[in-house]
Amino acid sequence: MYVTTLHCYHCNANYPLTHRGSCPACATTGEETALNETLGVQYDLTAIKRQLDREELARRPPGLWRYRELLPIVDPAFRIDLGAGGTRLVPLTRIPEAVAGNRLLMKVEGSNPSGSFKDRPIGVAASVALEQGARGLACLTSGNIGSAMAAIAAKADVSSLVLLLGAAGLADSGAAVNVEKYVQISAYGAEVVTPIGNLGQLYALADRVEAELGWSFMHNVQAYQTDGDKTTAFEICEQLGWRAPAAVFVPTGTGTNLFGLWQGFVLFKELGFIDTLPRMFAVQPVGAASLVAAWEAHQAIPAVLERTEPNLAPPISHRVSGYHAYKAMQESGGGAVAVSDAEMLTALKDLAAYEGIYAETASAAALAGIRRALALGLLSSEETHEGGIVGILTSSGLKNSLALSQVFSPPPKIEGTWETLRSFIESRKET
Ligand SMILES: [Zn+2]
């Protein structure tokens, strides 16, 4: 057992591994604050160094549990394995920026079992919850967390409840829930409801679910979710030949995935597995870019936005982002950029049409963010040409195809003759 405590990155307090929720010294229950997700999982590095080296890791099969000493589940029986992790790191070759000589690589997280990167954080957090005795699993989500959790619950043979919102962190917004996501969650056998109430009320409801039913609410094991996100960073380093890239661009709402990735790079460096650390960049949608606003105002504790503007990236549309993400950006010398719907759509189409990768619109924000950073001169030529820039494509395009049916017109009906088809193809060539 290498896991030791939960540590608050804001006030440096330590808590036992069974502690639930946020740091009580920093965050007030029920309030939306940038200090909600400051807890991280600590490990006995000296003991790990004795047990684990790069050669041992390289011998193991790919996936989340390849890094078992660096994850908080103690009993192997609770390492629920749906095949999460082990995703491809794809060098872009055809998009114009790649042709111009930039070294751009995409981590294709949409190929995880439930179609998004959430199979990592939820794979770890749900496993911890069950190991600590939870009798069921519950979460509040715009969809991807719900799919990942419902799949785990199915495999572990426990009940699950998904409180499904139209956009992550936007209770009471009235936004319609994503059809592909509620269908997928329902197929796994979870109960799905769309609760009405503000976020504070819904978190209080979550605590009640825990108290009354003995189920674990994923938000209350957030530190373990962040810990699962580390594995993306581990894989990137291994895939680059035990090196970190120059910079990593993460589509993000509250910033938890970005913070988890940063913890992963830092841990690998502390273990001596890599020599350098990457710059961490947050990418958020215009109109829901609290980290970008905080970054520009040098405000380590990002202010809660009064409202967010509707956009094509509900999974990363939050009113509140985290101190933890700001800290990762600051420590790494990174930054934050905001991208428009049009920029995300162009990135989505380019990834698909040039590279054969179909990502969810919120994921394509990674490439849109890299483009924005290139345009703003935030990346040096050495970084873009030698060190390499990694974008995290967080989820599969199949997660929100319906929302894009307004962007791509339905196929025209034509007569099934060669003459008609030939003239159709020729007319397309002309456009
Ligand atoms: Zn604290």
- Provide the token pair at 239: 């895939």
**pLDDT tier for residue 169 given thresholds of 50, 70 and 90:** low
- Please give the distance, rounded to the nearest whole angstrom, from the Cα atom of residue 11 to the centre of ligand 1: 4
Distance 328 CA to ligand 1 centre (A): 16
- For residue 237, the CA-to-ligand 1 centroid distance in Å is 30
CA of 360 to the centre of ligand 1 (A): 34
C-alpha 32/C-alpha 205 separation (Å) is 15
Q: What's the 262 CA to ligand 1 centre distance in angstroms?
A: 19
Q: How far is the CA of 316 from the centre of ligand 1 (A)?
A: 25
What is the structure's pLDDT at 143?
87
* Ligand 1 midpoint to CA 149 (Å): 27
Q: What pLDDT band is residue 407 in, cutting at 50, 70 and 90?
A: confident
Distance from the alpha carbon of residue 19 to the mean position of ligand 1, in angstroms: 13
Check pLDDT > 90 for residue 168. no
Ligand 1 centroid to 79 CA: how many Å? 29
Q: Are 336 and 329 in contact (CB under 8 A)?
A: yes
Q: How far is the CA of 25 from the centre of ligand 1 (A)?
A: 5
**Residue 404 confidence (pLDDT) above 90:** no
Tell me the whole-structure pTM to 2 decimals: 0.96
Across the chain, mean pLDDT equals 94
Task: Say how many Å lie between the CA of residue 242 and the centre of ligand 1.
Answer: 33
Q: Is the pLDDT of residue 154 over 80?
A: yes
Q: What tokens does 318 get?
A: 């939050």
Q: What is the rounded distance in angstroms from the CA atom of residue 113 to the CA atom of residue 188?
A: 12
User: Ligand 1 center to residue 5 CA distance, Å?
Assistant: 13
Q: How far is the CA of 42 from the centre of ligand 1 (A)?
A: 14
**Distance (Å, rounded) from C-alpha 392 to C-alpha 142?**
19
Q: Pick the range with the lowest mean pLDDT from 79-83, 157-161, 305-309.
A: 305-309
Q: How far is the CA of 32 from the centre of ligand 1 (A)?
A: 15
Q: Residue 327's pLDDT band (boundaries 50, 70, 90)?
A: very high
- Ligand 1 center to 28 CA (angstroms): 11
Residue 27 CA, ligand 1 centroid: distance in Å:
7
pLDDT of amino acid 32: 80
pLDDT tens-digit map of 373-396: 999 999 999 999 999 999 999 999
Task: Report the distance separating Cα 53 and Cα 56, nearest Å.
Answer: 5
Edge-first strand listing for the sheet containing 39-43: 14-15, 3-8, 39-43
Extract the tokens encoding 407.
Answer: 């962007």
Strands 247-251 and 279-285: parallel
Alpha carbon of 154 to ligand 1 centroid (Å): 34
CA 416 to chain CA centroid, nearest Å: 45
The pLDDT tens digits for 85-144 are 999 999 999 999 999 999 999 999 999 999 999 999 999 999 999 999 999 999 998 889
Distance from Cα 8 to the centre of ligand 1, integer Å: 5
Mean pLDDT computed over 236-245 = 98
Residue 224 Cα to ligand 1 middle (Å): 16
Say whether pLDDT at 173 is over 80: no
pLDDT in tens, 176-203: 788 888 899 999 999 999 888 887 888 8
pLDDT of 431 higher than 70 = no
List, for residues 265-313, the tens digit of each pLDDT value: 999 999 999 999 999 999 999 999 999 999 999 999 999 998 888 888 8
Ligand 1 midpoint to CA 274 (Å): 29
More confident residue, 364 or 166: 364
Give 17 Cα–ligand 1 centroid separation in angstroms: 15
Residues 74-95 have a mean pLDDT of 96
pLDDT for the residue numbered 196? 85
Q: Provide the percentage of residues in the chain whose pLDDT is more than 70.
A: 97
Q: How far is the CA of 88 from the centre of ligand 1 (A)?
A: 36
What is the CA(23)–ligand 1 centre distance, in A?
5
pLDDT at 324 over 90: yes
Fill in the amino acid letter for 431. Answer: T
Q: Provide the b/e sequence for 147-177 (b: ≥16 CB within 10 Å).
A: bbbbbbbeebebebbbbbbbbbbbbebebeb
**Distance (Å) from CA 207 to ligand 1 centroid:** 20
